[in-house]
């Protein structure tokens, strides 16, 4: 007689868990029958490659026998294996898999083509046999030969004693498993059912009727199954089907499941090591797409397949057009998985430009979605740039990492600084590497914060943070949970399907978020690896200048516009703007590559070639102004004297000028020693008092007596902070670092006057930062210049310290303005709310300005991005010293410039915006004999002509990219001497621009 027991939930759950466990009772549970028959390989041969070689090169090498248990390395090495397989004849008609586990990344090659990627890592402790197994096709023969390319590194590199630590260069990888096995798909499907039922019983609320139904169902299935007896499997399957065939109601929330591979191209491995992952990930999905008709896959196609044309061909020629267009869904259009804060406006435009042109060329389609799941915050200017580039939809999930405030929406409108808006979605599962667990589906629904406004959300499944993407098991589970009572509906979908369905709802009911999407983590990345950020700024300016010069040389003469070389240089720059490279959060090997790419930009001959083709004979000095306003600056010319010859030189807007003839000297800059070792500086626009440490105690404009510096605290105060985050070393600076402020006031050399006027006064001071670090500073005031410039040379050898310079002001105001891409953003000058205080470190570009109605003070810089501003004090972040993942980050010598600019009136009338450009783009000196020429000028400072270039598709079209810089609207007139022009005003996107 059958005994009916009272069911204890805990014991029943644990019984179900261990029934499919890979750790407990593995000799008798259901999982033990997943591979009921196994057979050794006929032979395993190994060739230790000298580097990353091609398949054609590998197969011609001398392979030697090896076996399971042998180790291979060391880190970053490549080993090729030749496998001879002989399938037993009595296995005919059964599904046979190759099992390969080398504890590392690996790629299977067959008949000259990569066919699937493998990974032997135990990713998050989950059982993933299909990441170490490859289903063999049996074309009428039992003998096969396969090659495996083994990479001696893990999915996320080889951190020594921790993922984010510098690499362990001595690590070896052991071949743990290499054999043939029969795969019992009936057992596999039952294991999926048992897992889903177990998870529903565990995760649904205690008062859920459906949860208890799942509990009793899974218990009944285990009672029925006789391990190894297939007829019992059929009976168990019928019981499972009865449960899973009970459907959801029409009002249930729908989860749009999207296979996703977040390939961190470089973070814990270098650029050159990642092509294997791109290929292995891609070919894993070719296999998935053949099996699952509903499968679609999100993949950063543009940036990943641009590694090498050869590897791009390998991928593309193996996919039919249908798979290229559908399986690799057309999203993620930027050229790189770009940082969201630091690139310039023009760099963002080029990301979209190259991405859109790529998809047009390869697929004939235009992308609507911007897919950026992982970057460290999102500029407030992005909605306008997206809209201008044809993008109306945006998806990310990174703000789920916030540590102080939970973002209030998941589906909403995101407004930019000009009012442009894009439909935005944050997948409420708070992850881009879900693994098809019941717990994730339930959390997605519970966590969704826009219930009632929208009944849909996205779910990104597949291994991310390194790649490899979805597994067969993940797809099977989602299909089993597609429409099951007790869970949200699951719909395999593309981003276009999701956003289109949302747009069919009453989207006017969605809430709006205006301004930046600030990530309350990883704000140390505005400063880490300072040299990379410096080279980024310099190269952005260099490419701006070269494009202008090349454009004018082309339209003015016989110069052939170097489009291919410019594309190459831009793509190198965009490559380095990847969201772990430019932020400074990659291993040291990455920066060896990055600096090599920067050197490649500087070594290009384009700059001097384009200048030399502006119809110039090599006779006299010519000055080139690559900005959109007339400038008058002190310049240095080569001289036979011990110091360079200085002159005040005027140059027209976007134009050329010859060396000015000697004329009446401008109003001089003077200095005076005051009592108590203070120095008084003055020119026609400002005056300042400095102490012997180089600190500014007084700063006034010429037409005001108001001291803009706080009377109790000097400006240009160098300060040092402890910088020990909770975990993410290179990424994070924590709020408590502000409690460790130490003033740097030990002087190695007091203020010394070097240049004594009349065109320039230079003061030199030397400070001792610590026993191992020092700063040499040159304080410069030029005649007629509205700012004081500070050129800094730092020898930096610290351990987790943060160097900043602070400027306490006497200005009381509620907001501080920060330069961002094509505009500026205002942030609070207080910590009134938790949202305000979380912004203790923020990103800005060339300047930050604090102003009231009467006057203000701006801090300018030539290569810095980290700021803080509160209670009238602006701090500029200079250098950090994290030790992971690059233990040598920022160690060594640095040179950078910042400046302080007092002004009368509000920001918009101050000239701060133009002066920040001047600081970053000094007049260029060339030799030649020309008449002064202004190619373009604008009649209002409110409009910035940011870019002058030729069209992507025509040498007869000049593209002018302009933006309104004051935060308003106006009309403007552009003047040019160029003849026979047809002018077209274009607002919107064009892939010729």
Q: Residue range 587-609: average pLDDT?
A: 81
Task: State the pLDDT confidence band at 989, using cuts at 50, 70 and 90.
Answer: low
The yes-or-no verdict on residue 615 having pLDDT over 90 is no
Least confident of 338-352, 412-426, 608-622: 608-622
The yes-or-no verdict on residue 319 having pLDDT over 50 is no
Q: Count the neighbouring beta carbons within 10 Å of the beta carbon of residue 584.
A: 28
Q: In angstroms, rounded to a whole number, what is the distance separating the alpha carbons of residues 141 and 860? A: 72
Cis peptide, bond prior to residue 580, ω within 30 of zero: no
Q: Residue range 904-922: average pLDDT?
A: 97
The yes-or-no verdict on residue 900 having pLDDT over 80 is yes
Residue count (the chain): 993
Q: Nearest Cα to 256, choosing from 500, 486, 473?
A: 500
The yes-or-no verdict on residue 320 having pLDDT over 50 is no
What pLDDT does residue 325 have? 40
What pLDDT does residue 316 have? 45
The yes-or-no verdict on residue 987 having pLDDT over 50 is yes
Type and span of the H or E element at 260: strand 254-261
Q: Nearest Cα to 130, choosing from 461, 460, 474, 466?
A: 474
Task: State the pLDDT confidence band at 540, using cuts at 50, 70 and 90.
Answer: very high
pLDDT tens by residue, 826-852: 999 999 999 999 999 999 999 999 999
Instruction: Tell me how far CA of residue 790 lies from CA of 383, 582, 697, 741, 940, in angstroms.
Output: 35, 25, 15, 22, 30
Which CATH fold topology does 532-635+925-975 show? Substrate Binding Domain Of Dnak; Chain:A; Domain 2 (1.20.1270)
Known catalytic residue: 128? Answer: no
The yes-or-no verdict on residue 322 having pLDDT over 80 is no
CATH topology agreement for domains 250-331+367-521 and 532-635+925-975? no
What pLDDT does residue 139 have? 56
What pLDDT does residue 666 have? 73
What pLDDT does residue 612 have? 53
What pLDDT does residue 265 have? 65
Task: State the pLDDT confidence band at 1, using cuts at 50, 70 and 90.
Answer: low
The yes-or-no verdict on residue 310 having pLDDT over 60 is no
Q: Residue range 665-693: average pLDDT?
A: 94
SS3 846: coil
pTM over 0.95? The answer is no
Task: State the pLDDT confidence band at 116, using cuts at 50, 70 and 90.
Answer: confident
Tell me the CATH architecture of domain 250-331+367-521: Alpha-Beta Barrel (3.20)
What pLDDT does residue 282 have? 65
pLDDT tens by residue, 444-503: 999 999 999 999 999 999 887 666 778 889 999 999 999 999 999 999 999 999 999 999
Q: Nearest Cα to 96, choosing from 33, 176, 38?
A: 38
Beta carbons within 8 Å of 513's beta carbon, 6+ residues apart: 409, 412, 413, 414, 415, 424
Structure tokens at 482: 């597609």
What pLDDT does residue 200 have? 98
Task: State the pLDDT confidence band at 617, using cuts at 50, 70 and 90.
Answer: very low
What pLDDT does residue 505 have? 86
More confident residue, 194 or 597: 194
Structure tokens at 310: 């050869």
pLDDT tens by residue, 4-52: 667 789 999 999 999 999 999 999 999 999 999 999 999 999 999 998 8
Least confident of 9-13, 264-268, 765-769, 818-822: 264-268
What pLDDT does residue 275 have? 62
What pLDDT does residue 273 have? 64
Q: By the 8 A CB rule, do 134 and 100 touch?
A: yes
What percentage of the chain reaches a pLDDT higher than 70? 87
What pLDDT does residue 975 have? 96
What pLDDT does residue 439 have? 98
Spans of all domains in the chain: 9-32+186-246, 250-331+367-521, 532-635+925-975
What pLDDT does residue 606 have? 64
Q: In angstroms, rounded to a whole number, what is the distance separating the alpha carbons of residues 778 and 781? A: 10
The DSSP secondary structure of 261-313, one letter per residue, reads: E---SSSSS-GGG-HHHHHHHHHHHHHHHHH-TT--EEE-HHHHHTS-HHHHH
Residue with tokens 């993940």: 474
Terminal Cα distance for the chain, rounded: 81
pLDDT tens by residue, 680-700: 999 999 999 999 999 999 999
Angle (deg, nearest 10), helices 209-224 and 185-203: 150
What pLDDT does residue 761 have? 97
The yes-or-no verdict on residue 312 having pLDDT over 60 is no
Q: Nearest Cα to 149, choosing from 276, 278, 317?
A: 276
Task: State the pLDDT confidence band at 280, using cuts at 50, 70 and 90.
Answer: low
Angle (deg, nearest 10), helices 230-244 and 185-203: 40
Alpha helices, H only, 513-652: 530-556, 563-576, 588-602, 606-612
What pLDDT does residue 470 have? 87
pLDDT tens by residue, 167-193: 888 999 999 999 999 999 999 999 999
What pLDDT does residue 283 have? 61
- List the catalytic residue out of 339, 374, 450, 691: 374
SS3 608: helix
Q: In angstroms, rounded to a whole number, what is the distance separating the alpha carbons of residues 302 and 356? A: 9
- Give the rounded distance of the alpha carbon of 281 from its chain centre: 20
């Amino acid at each position: 007689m059958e005994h009916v027991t009272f069911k204890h939930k805990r014991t029943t759950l644990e019984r179900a868990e261990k029934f499919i466990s890979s750790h407990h009772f593995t000799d008798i549970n259901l999982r033990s029958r997943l591979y009921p028959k196994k057979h050794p390989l006929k032979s395993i041969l190994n060739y230790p490659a000298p580097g990353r070689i091609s398949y054609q090169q590998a197969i011609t090498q001398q392979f030697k026998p090896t076996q399971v248990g042998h180790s291979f390395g060391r880190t970053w090495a490549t080993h090729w294996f030749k496998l001879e397989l002989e399938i037993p004849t009595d296995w005919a008609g059964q599904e046979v898999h190759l099992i390969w586990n080398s504890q590392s990344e690996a790629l299977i090659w067959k008949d000259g083509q990569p066919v699937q990627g493998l990974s032997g890592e135990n990713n998050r402790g989950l059982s993933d046999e299909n990441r170490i197994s490859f289903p063999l096709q049996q074309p009428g023969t039992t003998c096969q030969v396969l090659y495996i390319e083994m990479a001696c590194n893990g999915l996320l590199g080889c951190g020594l004693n921790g993922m984010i630590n510098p690499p362990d260069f001595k690590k070896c990888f052991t071949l743990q498993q290499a054999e043939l096995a029969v795969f019992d798909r009936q057992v596999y499907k039952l294991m999926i059912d048992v897992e889903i039922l177990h998870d529903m019983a565990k995760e649904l609320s205690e008062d859920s009727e459906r949860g208890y139904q799942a509990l009793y169902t899974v218990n009944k299935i285990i009672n029925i199954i006789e391990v190894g007896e297939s007829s019992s499997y059929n009976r168990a399957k019928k019981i499972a089907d009865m449960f899973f065939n009970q459907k959801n109601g029409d009002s249930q929330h729908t989860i749009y499941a999207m296979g996703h591979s977040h390939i961190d191209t470089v973070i814990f491995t270098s650029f050159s090591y990642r092509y294997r992952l791109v290929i292995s990930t891609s070919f894993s999905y070719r296999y998935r797409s053949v099996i699952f008709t509903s499968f679609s896959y999100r993949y950063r196609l543009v940036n990943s397949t641009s590694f090498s044309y050869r590897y791009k061909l390998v991928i593309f020629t193996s996919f039919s057009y249908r798979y290229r267009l559908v399986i690799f869904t057309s999203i993620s259009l930027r050229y790189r998985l770009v940082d969201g804060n630091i690139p310039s406006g023009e760099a963002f435009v080029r990301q979209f430009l190259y991405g859109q042109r790529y998809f047009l060329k390869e697929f004939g389609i235009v992308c609507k979605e911007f897919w950026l799941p992982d970057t460290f915050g999102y500029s407030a200017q992005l909605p306008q740039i997206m809209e201008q580039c044809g993008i109306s939809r945006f998806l990310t999930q990174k703000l789920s990492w916030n540590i102080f405030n939970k973002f209030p929406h998941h589906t909403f409108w995101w407004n930019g600084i000009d009012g442009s808006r894009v439909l935005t979605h944050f997948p409420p599962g708070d992850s881009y590497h879900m693994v098809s667990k019941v717990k994730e589906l339930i959390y997605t629904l519970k966590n969704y914060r826009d219930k009632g406004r929208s009944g849909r959300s996205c779910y990104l499944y597949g291994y991310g943070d390194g790649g490899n993407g979805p597994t067969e098991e993940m797809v099977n589970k989602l299909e089993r949970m597609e429409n099951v009572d007790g869970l949200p509906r699951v719909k395999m979908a593309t981003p276009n399907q999701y956003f289109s369905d949302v747009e069919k709802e009453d989207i006017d009911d969605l809430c709006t978020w205006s301004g930046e999407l600030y990530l309350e983590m990883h704000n140390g990345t505005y400063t880490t690896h300072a040299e990379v950020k410096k080279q980024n700024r310099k190269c952005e300016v260099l490419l701006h200048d070269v494009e202008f010069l090349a454009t004018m040389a082309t339209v003015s003469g016989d110069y052939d516009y170097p489009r291919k070389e410019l594309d190459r240089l831009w793509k190198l720059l965009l490559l380095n703007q990847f969201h772990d490279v430019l932020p400074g959060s990659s291993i040291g090997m990455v920066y060896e590559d990055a600096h090599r790419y920067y050197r490649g930009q500087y070594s290009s001959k384009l700059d001097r070639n384009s200048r030399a083709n502006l119809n110039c004979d090599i006779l006299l000095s010519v000055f080139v102004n690559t900005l959109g306003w007339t400038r008058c600056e002190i310049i240095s010319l080569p001289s036979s004297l011990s110091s360079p010859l200085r002159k005040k030189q005027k140059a027209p807007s976007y134009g050329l000028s010859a060396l000015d003839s000697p004329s009446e000297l401008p109003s001089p800059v003077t200095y005076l020693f005051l009592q108590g070792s203070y120095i008084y500086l003055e020119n026609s626009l400002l005056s300042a008092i400095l102490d012997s440490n180089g600190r500014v105690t007084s700063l006034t404009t010429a037409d005001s007596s108001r001291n803009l510096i706080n009377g109790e605290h000097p400006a240009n105060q160098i300060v040092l902070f402890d910088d020990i985050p909770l975990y993410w070393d290179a990424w994070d600076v924590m709020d408590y670092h502000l409690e460790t402020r130490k003033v740097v006031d030990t002087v190695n050399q007091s203020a010394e006057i070097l240049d004594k006027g009349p065109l320039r006064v230079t003061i030199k001071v030397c400070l001792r930062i610590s026993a191992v670090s020092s700063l040499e500073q040159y304080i410069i005031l030029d005649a007629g210049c509205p700012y004081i410039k500070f050129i800094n040379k730092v020898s930096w050898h610290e351990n987790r310290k943060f160097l900043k310079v602070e400027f306490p002001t006497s200005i009381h105001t509620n907001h501080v303005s920060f330069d961002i891409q094509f505009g500026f953003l205002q942030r609070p000058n207080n910590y009134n709310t938790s949202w305000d205080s979380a912004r203790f470190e923020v990103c800005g570009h060339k300047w930050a300005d604090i102003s009231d109605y009467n006057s203000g003070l701006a801090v300018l810089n030539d290569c810095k991005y980290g700021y803080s501003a509160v209670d009238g004090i602006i701090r500029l972040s200079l250098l950090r010293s994290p030790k992971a993942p690059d233990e040598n980050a920022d160690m060594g010598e640095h040179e950078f410039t910042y400046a302080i600019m007092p002004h009368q009136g509000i920001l918009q009338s101050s000239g701060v915006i133009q002066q920040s450009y001047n600081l970053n783009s000094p007049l260029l000196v060339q030799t030649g004999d020309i008449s002064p020429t202004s190619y373009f000028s604008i009649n209002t400072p409110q409009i910035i002509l940011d870019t002058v270039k030729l069209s992507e598709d025509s040498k007869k079209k000049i593209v002018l990219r302009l933006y309104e810089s004051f935060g308003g609207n106006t009309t403007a007139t552009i003047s040019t001497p160029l003849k026979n022009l047809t002018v077209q005003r274009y607002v919107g996107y064009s892939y010729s621009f």
